[in-house]
Structure 1
Amino acid sequence: MSNTSITITVKLFAAFSEAWGVSELKLEFPSGTPVSGVLEHSIAQHPQLEQWRDRTRFGLNLEFVSPNTPLQDGDEVVLIPPVSGG
C-alpha cells in the first residue's frame, strides 16, 4: 500500500444510513484499501452494524464487486445490507 490517501463517496441505506444519521459520506482511506475497508470503518464507528458484517454486499461505481476490490480516488461506494419489505 502506498502512503497516498484517496477520497471516496459512500452512499448509505437502511441500517447504515440510520447508524450514521446521513445518506452520504465523504471518507479518506489509504490508497489500495479494499472496498471491505469501508464496512470495517463503519463497524468501528458504529458497533451496532456488526450484525451486517457477513451479509452486506458492495457496490462500486454502479457495479457489484467482491469485498477485496481495491478502492481508487473518487470512487462511489454503496454498502448494501439485506432489505426486508412488508
Structure 2
Amino acid sequence: MKLFAAYQEACGVSELVLDFPPGTTVAAVCDRLINQHPELDQWRNLTRFGINFQFVQPDTPMENGDEVVLIPPVSGG
C-alpha cells in the first residue's frame, strides 16, 4: 500500500504491507488505518482510492497482490 500526504505523515512511512482477505474493500483498508491513527478520521470522506494505478470507488474489492493507494486531498504550489 502506498501512502501520501496525511496518511504518510501519520504512519511515518510511504509504504505499508498489510494482509487482508480477498474481497476486502479499499474502504476497509482505509478504516483499518484510521482505527490505528484516529487523527486521520478527518480525511475519511475526502480520500480517493486506487488499485494498481487505477482510481476506484470505496466499495471496490481487492484481489491478492493488489497495490492500494490512499490519496487524501493535497495542496501546494
Same fold judged by TM-score > 0.5?
Answer: yes
Q: Which structure shows the higher strand fraction?
A: 1
The ranges of structure 1 where at least 4 consecutive aligned residues each deviate by more than 3 angstroms after the TM superposition are: none
CA distance in 2, matches of 1:39, 1:84: 21
| Residues 1:85 and 2:65 aligned together | no
Verify: 1:72 aligned to 2:40, yes or no.
Answer: no
Structure 1 residue aligned with 2:35, among 41, 44, 68? 44
- Percent identity between matched residues is 65
Greater Rg by CA: 1
Which has the larger share of helix? Answer: 2
Residue of structure 2 aligned with 1:35, choices 10, 22, 26: 26
Is 1:55 aligned to residue 24 of structure 2? no
Quick one: distance in 2 between partners of 1:54 and 1:40? Answer: 11
Aligned length: 77
Structure 1 residue 30 displacement after superposition: 2.0
What is the distance in 1 between the residues matched to 2:64 and 2:22? 8
Rounded Cα–Cα distance in structure 1 between residues aligned with 2:2 and 2:22: 19
